[in-house]
Chains A and B, each alone.
Chain A
Amino acid sequence: MSAALLSLKVEHLRGSVVPFVLRFEKDKNLTIVYGENATGKTTICDALEFLAKGRVGSLEDRGLGHRLDRYWPSLGKRAGDISVSLDAADSTCTARIHNGNVKVEPEQHRPRVEVLRRNQILRMLEAQPAKRYAEISRFIDITGVETSEDALRRLIESLNANRDTAVAVVAANENTIRQFWEGAGSAGKDPMIWADAELRKDLLTLQQTALALSQLRAAYQRLGDYPQKFEPATATLRTAERAAAETVEKLENVLATATNEAGELLAVLEGAKPYLKKHPNPTACPLCESNEKAANLRDRVQQRLQQFSTIQDAQKEKVRNDQVVQRAADALASMQADVQRDAQKFEELKRGHQWSADIKLPEQPAPTRPDELDVWLAVARELPASWLAFEGAAQEQRKFVDTLSRQLKTYRDNVATQQELDILLPRLRRAHEILVEERQKFTDGVLKKIAGEVGRLYEAVHPGEGLEKIRLELEAGRRASLEIGASFGGTANTPPQAYFTQSHLDTLGLCIFLTLAGMDNPEGTILVLDDVLASVDEPHVERVVEMLYLEAARFRHCVITTHYRPWKEKLRWGWLQNGQCHFVELNKWSLANGLQYVRSIPDIDRLRQLLAEVPPDPQLVCSKAGVILEASLNFLTELYESDMPRRAKGLYTLGELLCAFDRKLRQALKAEMLSGTDASDKVIYKTVVLGPIIEELHRIAQARNIFGAHFNELSFELPDADAIAFGTQVLQLVDAVVDSENGWPRKEKLGSYWANANETRRLYPLKKPV
């Protein structure tokens, strides 16, 4: 339980035009604020709401627009002037407005407050189902778990689909492998065993043979190309050789027609050219060293050389043709070398592999001479095609094995997947079932708890109409939607809004609010009920009040404002259980003084105070004692159904009331007052015999009229002690019968006596003796 409240100070909020302090009475966690209209009751509620929630709910839904904070300050004050402080036994916190926001300091001591106003009492009942759900969502909102549950559900769906796929794929793979198996002759009994055996077969040798054959085929192809290249090459050489021979003959003829030594001379002249280029003006012939014709030697050599151009041309042609012959001869020689190399390569390939017997190879080694190839190729002509066929078969085998391998792997993977899912899926489904079960159980439990609590409270006000008869249900098929049902006229689960009277609806609304406020940390919550009794009809008010008394004890504190006057009067006369109750009465509000209150105390306590004054005032004592005696005798005569004159308005004099107890009743009347407990914790009662007190009161009752009712000269002659004795005797009677904190003994107990709340008073007999 949070610390007790000490006081609430309100400055310049709404009606608090001057600072107002409401001091809470020690050890009483129920404060009833009574006041006529316009005394400031709602300002007290506003202050607690302002402090706890930073808002003033009494201004809401009044068509004042959005800026309600404009109306928060008292007349003539500004937002910054507002201050609300709550002083508790362990802390103090204050709310003020800073920069348009309500700021509470220290924040950690901001109180928890739940406010219900008269105009909100039907909020839960009249709201749309979705809004109704919102009101209780803090107890029932399990969106997080639902999201996780949805993920689990989708996982199960997805894995179910995966399993279905795996099953289908397994069937398809099985079918394919079976077809392969049947195509291969259905060896053995099990296609899968056959497939495994197929995959274990030696594919490497097959592939190596296919590769070797491919290389051998290429080598054969290269050799096969030579014959068609060899003939042209040979022809080219022969043509070049013929051309070269013709050129030689032509050169010889040219030289023969020139001089016998023209050739040698031409060589000499050609040889002189580089020398004369380097020495353009020699002084002597470089050959004979004569200087006789040395002048213009260079020009004359050039002149002689031109005369030999035909010879030069013939010589150049010869050189060219010789080169052509050489190139043709080189090409042929190169081809011969290639043939030799490729033939050797072919033989190496032939020797380099371990051929199986079914592969045919050329019996003769490949010739190294081009001119011998034709014959050799002709003999082996059919072989490359058989090699190619073998290669194709090997490739097909490879493809088949790959396909079979894939089929088998997919089959086994999917079988494994199916087996894993067959283990996992039932567990996931069970987990989902548990989630759904627990969610439904939790939700139903919370709703049932709320409905049960509402029913319990409602039953306290309307006996026989609440227990097991209020239902809360989440609307099927709609998210976050709440329906309220109640029993009416024997029909269960009808909407109360349709059949209940306004008073019943108000009670139900109040019960719902109290239930919800009490579900979340009630011992830390200040409950504020602003004039909620206004629409409860008279026959039920007393039970509502009793119910509120009982419920208030669960909360940190409860503040109830009311303008219901009978409540005030019943408190005044101690008819209600006042032990936990602090009753204050607000005076008329004024602009000058704002809110003001007085503490109302029961009349019995007031009489006690009057008797304790020094000196006591006889008139006041007798006046108060007389009224209390009338109330007490009224109670007792009704309880024992005493014989009284029948009157229209039931008004009786004190004398008539005192005479209403016959001798047998006077002798039987006794009260037991709880005085404590003994060593074994057993309660101890002090017995007070009431007959003598009533008889004594009968004897001195005149004091009431003489001192307390009228101006009476007789009072001049009587001692004040007579008045005090009357007051004391009344107090003795009423103290014996009534405990102002626990009320009057109205409840029949064990068929033998009457008792008040908490049984602090017992009254005997139960019935008037006959």
Chain B
Amino acid sequence: MESPSTQLATLVIERLIKEDLLRPDDRGTLLSRLAEGKLKQEDWWLAVELSEAKGRVK
């Protein structure tokens, strides 16, 4: 059974991607780090900023 943190992290990441707050390409790297509590302030900043940049390019 996946840990509760991993289950929740999966739900959160999918929702953030759906709302264009994360890039789908970042799913793999962000999921485990979110679940393990390793997403730092700078990681959030970069990930959300990149998704915004991607949105602008589109």
Contact = CB atoms under 8 A, between A and B. Distances in A.
A151 B7 contact: no
Contact of A438 (B11, B22, B39): B11
A431 interface: yes
Q: Interface residues of A: mostly helix, strand, loop or mixed?
A: helix
B4 to A, nearest CB: 5
Interface stretch (A140-148, A316-324, A636-644): A140-148
A424 B49 contact: yes
Interface string B10-44: 01100110010110000000000111111111011
Contacts of B37: 143-148
B9 to A, nearest CB: 5
B48 A442 contact: no
Interface in A124-157: 138-148, 151-152, 154-155
Contact of A521 (B1, B35, B48): B1
B5 to A, nearest CB: 4
Contacts of A145: 5, 8-9, 12, 34-35, 37
Given A145-B34, A146-B37, A424 B45 contact: yes
Interface residues of B, number: 30
Interface in A416-442: 423-424, 427-428, 430-431, 434-435, 438-439, 442
Interface string B41-55: 101110011011000
Contacts of B51: 427
Given A141-B5, A145-B9, A434 B21 contact: yes
A140 B19 CA distance: 25
Contacts of B12: 145, 434-435, 438-439
Given A145-B35, A148-B38, A423-B52, A430 B19 contact: yes
A155 B44 contact: yes
B51 to A, nearest CB: 8
Contact of A431 (B5, B21, B40): B21
A430 B8 contact: no
B4 A139 contact: yes
A34 B1 CA distance: 34
Contact of A428 (B8, B15, B44): B44
Nearest to A430: B21
Task: Give the secondary structure class of B's interface.
Answer: helix
A442 B19 contact: no
A442 B37 CA distance: 17
A158 B11 contact: no
A424 B1 contact: no
A141 B41 CA distance: 22
Nearest to B39: A148
B7 A152 contact: no
Given A154-B41, A424-B45, A424-B48, A442 B1 contact: no
A318 B29 CA distance: 101
A427 B35 contact: no
A520 B8 contact: no
Contacts of A435: 12
Contacts of B48: 424, 427-428, 431
A392 to B, nearest CB: 48
Nearest to B43: A151
Contacts of A144: 3, 5, 9, 34-38
A627 interface: no
Contacts of A142: 4-5, 8
A18 interface: no
Interface residues of A, number: 31
Contacts of B11: 438, 442
B7 A427 contact: no
Given A145-B9, A148-B39, A434-B16, A446 B4 contact: yes
Interface in A688-704: none
B33 A148 contact: yes
A159 B48 CA distance: 13
Nearest to B51: A427
Contacts of A140: 4
A141 B2 CA distance: 11
A439 B41 contact: no
B8 A439 contact: yes
Contacts of B15: 434, 438
Given A148-B34, A438-B11, A143 B41 contact: no
A442 B16 CA distance: 15
A446 B7 CA distance: 11
A434 B18 CA distance: 11
Contacts of B40: 151
Contacts of A430: 19, 21
Given A144-B5, A144-B34, A431-B44, A152 B52 contact: no
A438 B51 CA distance: 20
A146 B51 CA distance: 22
Contacts of A138: 4
Nearest to B9: A145
A559 B11 CA distance: 37
Contact of A427 (B4, B21, B36): B21
Contacts of A151: 39-41, 43-44
Nearest to B44: A152
A158 B4 contact: no
A428 B41 CA distance: 11
Contacts of B43: 151
Contacts of B33: 148
Nearest to B15: A434
A289 B41 CA distance: 115
Contacts of A141: 3-5
A647 B48 CA distance: 84
A114 to B, nearest CB: 14
Contact of A442 (B4, B21, B41, B52): B4
Nearest to B1: A520
A675 B47 CA distance: 65
Contacts of B45: 155, 159, 424, 428
Interface in A430-468: 430-431, 434-435, 438-439, 442, 446
B1 to A, nearest CB: 5
B41 A155 contact: yes
A442 B48 CA distance: 23
Closest 7 pairs (CB-CB, A-B): A147-B37, A148-B39, A144-B5, A155-B41, A144-B37, A442-B8, A152-B44
Given A148-B9, A155-B41, A434-B21, 15 more contacts: A140-B4, A141-B3, A145-B9, A145-B12, A145-B34, A145-B37, A148-B37, A148-B38, A151-B41, A158-B41, A434-B15, A435-B12, A438-B15, A439-B8, A442-B8
30 contacts: A140-B4, A141-B3, A142-B8, A143-B5, A143-B37, A144-B3, A144-B5, A144-B35, A144-B37, A145-B5, A145-B9, A145-B34, A145-B37, A148-B34, A148-B37, A148-B38, A148-B44, A151-B41, A152-B39, A423-B52, A424-B45, A427-B52, A431-B44, A434-B15, A434-B16, A438-B12, A442-B4, A442-B7, A442-B8, A442-B11
Interface of A: 138-148, 151-152, 154-155, 158-159, 423-424, 427-428, 430-431, 434-435, 438-439, 442, 446, 520-521
Interface of B: 1, 3-5, 7-9, 11-12, 15-16, 19, 21-22, 33-41, 43-45, 48-49, 51-52
